[in-house]
Copies of this chain bind each other. A is one copy, B any other.
């Protein structure tokens, strides 16, 4: 497999898991089939569309390559029809979301570097790709955006993006190390969720109600 095939497969995997995360959130809100697919689309393709607009790759892959929309639709519909019990969906959403965050951060940072965006900008584009879909999903379903919640989220993505830029700089950006970077983001996010790791709050701020 060439590097671009690996990137495509990783991207489609990210689309599938983010679509599933969006669809799970929409099913939990009792939206109908099309609402579920729509939220799945936004969660799956929103981050990548933002990325492609920023690096001026138009039309964005989500519109130019039918495999993206088809993957998002199939994954969303699969969650709609096959999810076993609604009560168990919330943990699933969080794990799928962490996987999508990890995959999209790495592929988004790579795409930005390939498009000639400088190092710091590429980190931000990678983070934006990673968190964009989840942000859209949360705004649509009326949840407080996960990125603003206490546990480490955007910072896991940013850390992964910095790792990818450093690997690229040092010429070590081979598939194995990139997958490792994604796994580190994924693990960091899951551990942060389980241990309720969070960043400090401003000095003098009362605890949230």
Contact = CB atoms under 8 A, between A and B. Distances in A.
Nearest to A145: B140
Interface in A24-81: 26-27, 30-36, 38-39, 49, 53-56, 58-60, 62-66, 69-70, 80-81
A188 interface: no
A199 interface: yes
Interface in A143-164: 144-145, 147-150, 152-155
A201 interface: yes
Contact of A200 (B33, B117, B140, B198): B33
A175 interface: no
A118 to B, nearest CB: 6
B118 A202 contact: no
Contacts of A145: 140
Interface of A: 26-27, 30-36, 38-39, 49, 53-56, 58-60, 62-66, 69-70, 80-81, 83, 85-86, 112, 115, 117-122, 124-125, 139-140, 142, 144-145, 147-150, 152-155, 198-208
